[in-house]
């Protein structure tokens, strides 16, 4: 029951031909290769390892990496299109791709030294998965209340502490880790480091058992006197807060794209179901009440699409996009929950079972208002911009 019907969206004139072709190729791949694995991965709470090489072969694990480093050499907007296309079929796979592109690669491209870029970008483009490690037990919305400590020791830094809720933790071999070099300096002590999985003293801890996006791993990271060479500092010592803030601002657009694709997938499934399901001698899609609900969902999805696309275009154009990114994430994530819930309702009792994919998409939608900045944090960002 996971095969999606022919997409019902109108042609998008705001996409270039190259963007449209890439998006369609990824959509076809998702329908053919990901859709048959979705429910099994969700039940096992584990990504199908055979999918990972295919994601690299498609060129979607290094979308913004320059061609000289083995990447696709596309722009941020293309990353957003790909995340949307994958989320339509499985938001878990989209999350893995999203973190790789909008957080890990984005941070390295912007803040990495020439040496770091030359060393790590080819790996991320070819076969290495990355993770972004900021959150801790006491630092969620207060992202800079870090206790993970970095101490300078000769030409190295020594990292000690724990990280929680790290996406891609099970699959990643490369981690961007934020630690404080001076707790008394507050956010001005935060520094970003690039750490490899096989570093002595580094280990993966507890894997979370989650409500949704279950195939996307979320883990604890443990640092027991992990030595990191000074060359692996990402950006400047004490300026890690800028790396975190600016990267997450861009990452929120990616979350908007995830929720957009999820909602579109739920609607596509529901359009097919309502046309096939008969009550009182006719398809339920012929009832005006159902038609109005479908129309409302399609309108909300299109509104979210325009907000997400606009924020991504602004980012690529070098224009201010902070407020637009917050608005896109806020609206798209809350919209996805509304749409997924309505889609379950329209499936009736079937929607409450795992036989139909809207049940999973409903569970997957919940995380959108939480990670990479809760809805309340997005509202705070928007309100501050209004009051300037």
CA 36 distance to own-chain centroid? 21
Q: What one-character DSSP code corresponds to residue 50?
A: T
Q: Out of 19, 250, 359, 372, which one is annotated catalytic?
A: 372
SS3 277: coil
Q: Cβ distance 218 to 209 under 8 Å?
A: no
Rounded CA-CA distance 269/282 in Å is: 19
Q: Are 95 and 132 in contact (CB under 8 A)?
A: no
Contacts of 201 (CB under 8 A, 6+ apart): 223, 224, 225, 226, 227
The bridge status of strand 130-133 relative to strand 174-180 is parallel
CA 63-64-67 angle, to 5 degrees, is 90
Whether 136 is a known active-site residue: answer: no
Q: Nearest CA to 382 among 310, 341, 329?
A: 329
Query: Residue 275 CB: number of other CB atoms within 10 A?
Result: 13
Q: What is the DSSP letter of 103?
A: I
Which amino acids are annotated catalytic?
Answer: 372
């Amino acid at each position: 029951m996971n095969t999606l019907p022919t997409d019902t969206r109108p042609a998008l004139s705001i996409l270039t031909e190259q963007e449209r072709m890439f998006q369609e190729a990824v959509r076809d791949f998702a329908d053919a290769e990901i859709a048959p694995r979705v429910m099994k991965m969700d039940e096992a709470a584990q990504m199908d390892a055979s999918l990972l090489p295919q994601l690299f072969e498609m060129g979607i694990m290094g979308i913004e990496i320059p061609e000289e480093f083995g990447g696709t050499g596309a722009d941020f907007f293309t990353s957003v299109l790909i995340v949307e296309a994958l989320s339509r079929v499985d938001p878990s796979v989209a999350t893995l791709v999203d973190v790789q592109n909008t957080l890990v690669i984005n941070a390295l491209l912007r803040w990495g030294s020439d040496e770091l870029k030359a060393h790590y970008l080819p790996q991320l483009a070819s076969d290495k998965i990355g993770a972004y490690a900021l959150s801790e037990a006491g630092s969620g919305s207060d992202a800079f209340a870090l206790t993970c400590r970095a101490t300078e020791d000769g030409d190295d830094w020594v990292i000690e502490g724990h990280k929680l809720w790290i996406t891609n933790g099970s699959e990643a071999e490369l981690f961007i880790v934020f630690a404080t070099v001076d707790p008394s300096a507050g956010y001005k002590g935060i520094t970003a480091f690039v750490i490899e999985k096989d570093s002595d003293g580094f280990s993966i801890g507890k894997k979370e058992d989650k409500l949704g996006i279950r195939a996307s791993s979320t883990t604890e990271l443990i640092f027991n006197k992990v030595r990191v060479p000074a060359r692996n500092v990402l950006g400047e010592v004490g300026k890690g807060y800028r790396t975190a803030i600016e990267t997450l601002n861009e990452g929120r657009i990616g979350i908007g794209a995830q929720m957009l694709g999820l909602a579109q997938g739920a609607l596509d499934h529901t359009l097919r179901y309502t046309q096939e399901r008969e009550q009182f001698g006719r398809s339920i899609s012929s009832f005006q009440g159902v038609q109005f609900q479908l129309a409302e969902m399609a309108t909300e999805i299109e509104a979210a699409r325009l907000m997400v696309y606009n924020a991504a275009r602004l980012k690529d154009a070098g224009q201010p996009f902070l407020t637009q990114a917050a608005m896109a994430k806020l609206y798209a994530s809350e919209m996805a929950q509304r749409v997924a819930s309505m889609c379950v309702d329209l499936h009736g009792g079937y929607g409450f079972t795992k036989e139909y994919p809207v049940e999973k998409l409903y569970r997957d939608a919940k995380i959108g208002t939480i990670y990479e900045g809760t809805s309340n944090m997005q509202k705070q960002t928007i309100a501050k911009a209004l009051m300037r």
